[in-house]
Amino acid sequence: MCPMALTAISVVGSLVGGGIQAAGIQSQANAQADAEERRAQLADRAKEVNQTQASFERKRSLQQLSKVIGNNRAAGAERGLSDTGSLVDVMDDNAYEAAQDLEAIRYRAEGERDNLTMEAADARSRASSSRKAGRIGAFGAALGGLTGAATSLGNSLYRRPPTT
């Protein structure tokens, strides 16, 4: 086989190899970025579910308080008590406990919302970094292929002086 044919094969092989490696690096980085985007979407979705659940818990706590107050009034009325004195104290205590429960639900929901917001932002940041790393890696692989091709071509054109 003639030296020029070998050089051509080497040059083409370097270019194709660099191109394939660049495509593989970019594809892998895109897949990683897509996975991170899905993580961000799941965190956003979980945030919505968290807020809906907290709203439901608050509503349920208020309904329970309403039932307790109704039961207290009925029990007091059966015993001939008016809505004053110890009956009011009991209802106030129940209202205070319900308010504490509502605040606890709110704080928990806010904390979870903030955590999920941060998780989504982190996932999006990792996705962006993966895409950038893919572009840089693909560029490096393509540059390596070009360099290899240039080296093969340069070596074939370089003629050593005859030795005597």
pTM of the model: 0.61
Is pLDDT above 80 for 62? Answer: yes
pLDDT of residue 137: 87
- pLDDT tens digits along 86-143: 777 777 788 888 888 889 988 989 989 899 999 999 999 989 999 898 888 888 888 8
Q: What's the rounded Cα separation, in Å, for the pair 9 and 18?
A: 14
Is pLDDT above 80 for 60? Answer: yes
Q: What's the rounded Cα separation, in Å, for the pair 48 and 113?
A: 8
Q: What's the rounded Cα separation, in Å, for the pair 109 and 118?
A: 14
Q: What's the rounded Cα separation, in Å, for the pair 58 and 106?
A: 8
Torsion of CA 116, 117, 119, 122, to 10 degrees: 180
